[in-house]
Each structure stands twice: as C-alpha cells, then as structure tokens.
Structure 1
Amino acid sequence: MTEQLFVGFHHFAMRTPDLQRSITFYEALGFRQVHEWTLPDYGIDRAVMMQAADTKSWIEIFDLKASIPMQGRGAKVGQVIVTGALAHICLTVNDLEKACARIVEVGATHLHGPENLGLGQPEVSVQNAIFEGPAGEVIELLQHVRFPSDLPGSA
C-alpha cells in the first residue's frame, strides 16, 4: 500500500486591495482570524490566516504589495497578463520531502523551497514548498501545522 502523503486542502491564498475589509467580510461569513505576520523579504507588511467555522480549512489574506508566487498567464497569445485575487492553493502534507518528490513525479514544476519560515508572534514555524500544476495553478505544499488560535478539531 502506498503511503498517503497528501492529507487534504489546507487553504487558499488571496491578495486584496483592502486587507481589513476582506477580514471583516470573511468574519461575517463565519471565519475567524487565528494568526497574523509580516515577512519584509517577501513585501508582506501584514498577512492573516483565518480559520473556517468547521475548523478544517483556512483563508490566507495578503495586501496587494505581497511578492508571493501567483498564477498570471494570459489565456490567449498576446493577451495581457492579469493577476486576480487568487494567489495559490495549499495542500497539507505529512512528509514534505516525500510529497515534493511525488508532486514533481506526477508532473508539477518545482518553483521554490522547501524552506522554513517563522510567522508572527507568537512565532509559528512553517515548512513549505511551491510548485506549478499542470494548468498553471500555483500549489503550496505545507507540512502539517497548527496556528496558536486554531480551534480544537483542526486538521
């Protein structure tokens, strides 16, 4: 039997022109802010992680200045590249090293990482890597992590 490396959907990430407005909007939909951080090396002045009411998925929100891997290809030759709000999808993995090898084996293109990042206060240590999927989608693989304010029962 093959070891199950990919656990499930973790979060989608988005950029927004009005971070607080987006936070307020998702709070109204039942999400709650569970962590916040800055990463100046990536142009991130403020980012937040918001947990869904079912405690099994999250939304990661950045402002527009965040320099993060994003999809941005035109659909037709000569079409202007437009980057929308969706930045990437993220999958939780049990073993980042093995999952990185597997995703490349099945056709993804390696873009960045693995790397270790310290996010926010209290600091949350995350291990991740970034890939491009077969349709050009940006996929983050994230070693299983819990944020300080996650509710019990979180993935």
Structure 2
Amino acid sequence: MKHQGLAHIAVLTEDMEKTIAFYELLGGTCTERASVQKPTGVNQLAMIDMGGFWMEAIQPGDGTPVTAQGGVLPHIAIEVTDLPAVAAELKAQGIDTFLTPEPVVLPELFGGLRNWFFTGPSGEQIELIEHFS
C-alpha cells in the first residue's frame, strides 16, 4: 500500500466548542463541521487544519465513552521552532496543563531534541517538540 502522508488525528471530546477553541489557540482553523448517524445516536465532527496536519474532533452522541486513559493514541506531537516561546505564549493564553515544570532535553535522542507535554480539553496528551538539527 502506498501512503501519501498523515490524513488526520482523531480526538474524542465531550465539548466540541471547547475543543475547537483550544486547537485554534494552537494555530488551527476549523474548516468543516458535520454529523454522522450511528446506530445509537449522532456523532458531531469538526475538521481542524493545523497547518501541516489535520485534527478530527469527534463528539460522540452514541454513548461512546470519551477518555484518553488506556487509548491507542498516546499523544499528538507538534513540531515547533522555539519551544520556550511557544510554551510561554500558550501559558499566556491560559493553557496550564503542562505535565512537567520545564521542557525535557534529550540531546542523544533522534539527533537531539527537547519536548514538553501538556493535556488538551479531553485529557489527550500533546507533545511540543523541537529538534536541534
């Protein structure tokens, strides 16, 4: 099978408006909204263009539990060029869910990088990553 790149990353949410607003704070743009009928309810969908990849936010209306615990998507990684500046901007906008007090520096991993994890509105983990090379 030939692939053409990442299509999207799906995130379950209990609050679509909060999720869209959160990812727009990260620089995204909600471009489409839709709903899909499931056997037990209607799921609300939103596609968010993150400038290089797409997020699909799904608000289940069919009884699907919304949880990031034990899921198969451990985190979403977003490449940045100035991690401290990006983190400071996010904190200034009210994002205060960073999992460590400071970024983690890993000079030997994949040519050298630093990263900093925080959580989104539905508990999903997001990694800001900056490569040294």
User: Fold match, TM over 0.5?
Assistant: no
TM category (shorter chain) comes to 0.3 to 0.5
Looking at both structures, which has the greater relative contact order when contacts are Cα pairs under 8 Å and sequence separation is at least 6?
Answer: 1
Question: Is the strand fraction higher in 1 or 2?
Answer: 1
How does the TM-score come out when normalised to structure 2?
0.44
